[in-house]
Each structure stands twice: as C-alpha cells, then as structure tokens.
Chain A
C-alpha cells in the first residue's frame, strides 16, 4: 500500500458506543487516532461528519465518515478482514445482527430508564430490563462469549453490560444485574473484562462512576443519554 491509512475515531471517553468502535479496531490490530469530542461543544468536524444525527462515534477512514456504532462495526469487519467479528454463515450472521439490534433497541434503553425513573414507572422499566437480561442470559447459555470462543459482534454490542450497567445501577441505587438471576451474563462479564484487549480499551471504572455521579441531576431531569 502506497499511503499510510488514516483512521480516526471521533469519540467520547465515557461512551459505551465509542468503546465498541475502539474495541473492534483493537481486535483487528488497526492503528487509529482517538479524537475526543466535547459533547457540549461539538466540533465542526463532527457536525460535518455526521450532519444527520450529530453524534459520536464516527469513524473517519481516509476522509470517509461512517456514523452509528453497529454500522461502523460492520464496516470495520468488511474492510479489515483478519480476526472476523461476524460469523461466516449467513444464518449466523443474521442471528448476530438480530441480537445486536435487540441489545440496542430494547435492552440498553430499558436498563437506562430503570436508573433514572421512580415509582411505578421505574418498576415497569426494571421489569422490562430484567426480561431483556433474562433473554440474553438464556441466549448466551454456557458459551464463553456470544461469538463462541472469541469476542464477536454481539459481545462488542453487549459491552454496555460489562461495565456501564454496573456503574449506572450504583449511581442510581438499584440492582439489576446480579449473579443469582443472570449467572451466564455475570460469568460473561468476568471473562470479557478480563480479556487483554478489552482491558486496554475500557475507561477506568472510578472515572466513569465520578462522571455519572456529577451528571446525575441533569440526567434525572432530561433522561437523555448525554452523548
């Protein structure tokens, strides 16, 4: 290759979504530059790269902008083909996409809202969150990772549960993920965070805890994920 590849990630250090992208690049051994965004004051580069949603993460590959974490993950897998994160067989690929969407569309939202609501509304969200976690726990079963023996698309998508959920439930003073109800998931979390590649990319837990504590009032008022 004549030119060096230019790979940048527009990211926010505390975001589980930009973590997904960085983990995938790390798994593939792709050198990249991390460009930290101030989400209260988004850069012209971010606004130009993702004019529709104006959100991180955005992958910039030789000037081409790819937003939306799950779409970025598929792009990474198709561009750097070593250490695949999606299975080969179409049906298994379909299942991996299905579970990633389930995590994004149902699970994360229910867990998030469980933390920031009260009373009956909170009970409703907690029930939904538990139902989602139960489904994921059953789906994982006795496997080491959702991807089988190695970290795959679904594992990367589920990284929110590996660190962020524990932090959020501590800030909110609730208990969602526990070893009694979700033994498979808890075992998966232990294995996931112990993996070298993951450890290198994860933000420090105490820093994460501090930032969510400091933003607690703002989040309670708006319920928005401040990304």
Chain B
C-alpha cells in the first residue's frame, strides 16, 4: 500500500505491509468496541481514528527537533494522530511560538501506556506533556501553550473582553464544525440535507464574524484562527459529500483559509485536502456508507 506524501510537498512515500496493518483494525470494527468504552467525539465512534493508522503518511513527524534542541524538545511531548484537526491546533500553536517538541504518533487501536496514563479520563489525543505533566483537550492545550511561552506572539489578546470573545468563538467551532461535518460524510438522504443546511448556516455565521478582517484575531493570527484552520483542509470533503461549495457559500472564509496557509505553522501542519478526502473515503467504505 502506497502512502500519500505530505501537503507541503516533501516526497516521503513509503510502503507498508497492508495485511499486517489491516488485521487488528478489522478485528476492532467487528467487535464494534474500543478501548474508551464507546465514547464518541461529536457522535463519531472512536474507531474512526483506528483507520487513521492505515492511511498515516509514512514520513518524518511534523517537527523534528535539531540536535541542540533535543534536551528542550524532550521536555515537551505531543501525543497525536496525523489527521486530527484537534491535534493540529496544538501543532500550529507550538509552531507559532517556536517551541521544540517531540511528536509521538498514536495508534488508537493500540493506545500507548503513555497516552492511557496521561489522559486516563478520556484516553484521547491530543495530549501535551510538559516536564512530565499532561495537559488534555486541544483548546485547553492551546491556552496552556500561550500562558507558558508568553514571550512569543500572543495567541489570546490581552484585553479580558477580547479574550472572552475569542473563547466564545473557539467554543462555537468546537461545538459545531466537527459534529455537523461528520454528519455530512456519514449520512444520506434527508438527514444529509438537514446536515448540509446546518453546516452552511455555521459557515455563514463564521463568515459574518470574520467580516473583512485579515484573521479572526484582527491583524494578528490568534486563538480562533488556530481553532478553526485545521478544518480548512476538511472543507473539500464536507462540500463534496454534502453537495455544495464552501467558496460559494462563504467566500471570505475561503480567502481567510488561504491567507492562513501562507503561514508556515499552518502549511507545515495541514495535509492536502485530497488526502483528507481519501482518508474519509476509506472510513466510508469501512462503515458501509456509500
């Protein structure tokens, strides 16, 4: 099985023994159970992420520390899964702050003892481990990064009201995008039309909030941008499955996404939308959604 190269063009293509990778995953699916007791994220069973192991690009991790950064990098570890938009938020925040860290790809069909110990409540990625202490939940991690590495450009603004507004929109993205987007690729017929209507409404609300600003943070790339931008790579999947055009419904949002992609922290983190679509296509086959 050939694995895709990354969005930013480095051609790390490799092969994997398909049968060795497929077997444990199909077994999990057949049992329809998972380590975290059928917990879901936004209605999607956690098995979803088991499949990510099969389509994981065979390449070096998103950030390889230089030898002289090694000691500092060891103090910061990110447990993550390549395709996770929640993990990507953390990667972008760390990159924006110039923080060296060690990236550990998790196999969610076989969670590491480190992950189970670091996040015993949810057993989910992403988890940031800093000097041995874990921080869980992507937007909690982003705020943590902002508070610890306060020398770098701020992610949240200084003013309490502006911070509250940023948290509000981060929370809005959290509650709405992933759950509704998942329904776009999982459902058919009337339920799909319902999801499409809702998703377009969500896009329009976000577009209205963005207005003519460069970023949600104003002139500065910030918290809301970080919360939302990983889903930019999922827009192609959502619009193709849903039968609409994100650009037609929310042109300013698409222009914003392209501006964000000019930032290295974003372009080095997000994968090609076609890779995300391929990943979801694989999921659809596995779930018998066609």
Give Cα A68 to B144, complex, Å: 20
Task: Indicate whether A71 sits within 8 Å of B164 (C-beta atoms), given known contacts A101-B137, A135-B121.
Answer: yes
Task: Indicate whether A71 sits within 8 Å of B147 (C-beta atoms), given known contacts A66-B161, A102-B121.
Answer: no
Contact of A94 among B141, B160, B168 (CB under 8 A): B141
Q: Which residues of A contact B141 (CB under 8 A)?
A: 94
Give Cα A97 to B160, complex, Å: 17
Evaluate contact between B140 and A94: CB separation under 8 angstroms: yes
Give Cα A101 to B136, complex, Å: 11
**In this assembly, does B172 line the interface, its C-beta being within 8 Å of a C-beta of chain A?**
yes
Distance from B67 Cβ to chain A, minimum over Cβ atoms (Å): 28
Q: Which residues of A contact B148 (CB under 8 A)?
A: 90
Q: Which residues of B contact A93 (CB under 8 A)?
A: 143-144, 147
Evaluate contact between A68 and B140: CB separation under 8 angstroms: no
Q: Which residues of A contact B130 (CB under 8 A)?
A: 91
**Interface range, B side:** 20 to 34
Give Cα A52 to B202, complex, Å: 10
**In this assembly, does B167 line the interface, its C-beta being within 8 Å of a C-beta of chain A?**
yes
| Proximity bits, A57-93, B CB within 8 Å = 1, else 0 | 0000100101110011011001100000000001101
Distance from A173 Cβ to chain B, minimum over Cβ atoms (Å): 27
Distance from B136 Cβ to chain A, minimum over Cβ atoms (Å): 6
Within 8 A of A (CB), among B190-231: 205
Majority SS at the chain B contact face: helix
Contact of A74 among B136, B147, B167 (CB under 8 A): B167
Residue picked from A67, A68, A94, most chain B C-beta under 10 Å: A94
Give Cα A94 to B138, complex, Å: 11
**In this assembly, does B286 line the interface, its C-beta being within 8 Å of a C-beta of chain A?**
no
Evaluate contact between B143 and A94: CB separation under 8 angstroms: yes
Distance from A46 Cβ to chain B, minimum over Cβ atoms (Å): 16
Closest to A71 in B: B167
Majority SS at the chain A contact face: helix
| Proximity bits, A95-126, B CB within 8 Å = 1, else 0 | 10110011000000000000000000000000
Evaluate contact between B160 and A71: CB separation under 8 angstroms: no
Distance from A98 Cβ to chain B, minimum over Cβ atoms (Å): 5
Evaluate contact between B135 and A91: CB separation under 8 angstroms: yes
Distance from A106 Cβ to chain B, minimum over Cβ atoms (Å): 9
Give Cα A176 to B164, complex, Å: 34
| Proximity bits, B117-145, A CB within 8 Å = 1, else 0 | 00001000000001001011100110110
Evaluate contact between A94 and B163: CB separation under 8 angstroms: no
Give Cα A135 to B144, complex, Å: 23
Q: Which residues of B contact A75 (CB under 8 A)?
A: 160-161, 163-164
| Proximity bits, B87-127, A CB within 8 Å = 1, else 0 | 00000000000000000000000000000000001000000
**In this assembly, does B171 line the interface, its C-beta being within 8 Å of a C-beta of chain A?**
yes
Distance from A52 Cβ to chain B, minimum over Cβ atoms (Å): 7
Distance from B44 Cβ to chain A, minimum over Cβ atoms (Å): 15
Within 8 A of A (CB), among B48-73: none
Q: Which residues of B contact A95 (CB under 8 A)?
A: 135
A residues with CB within 8 A of B? 52, 61, 64, 66-68, 71-72, 74-75, 78-79, 90-91, 93-95, 97-98, 101-102, 135
Nearest 6 CB-CB pairings of A with B: A78-B160, A90-B147, A94-B135, A75-B164, A94-B144, A97-B140
Known A-B contacts: A67-B168, A71-B171, A74-B163. Give 6 more (CB < 8 A): A75-B160, A75-B164, A78-B160, A78-B163, A90-B147, A97-B143
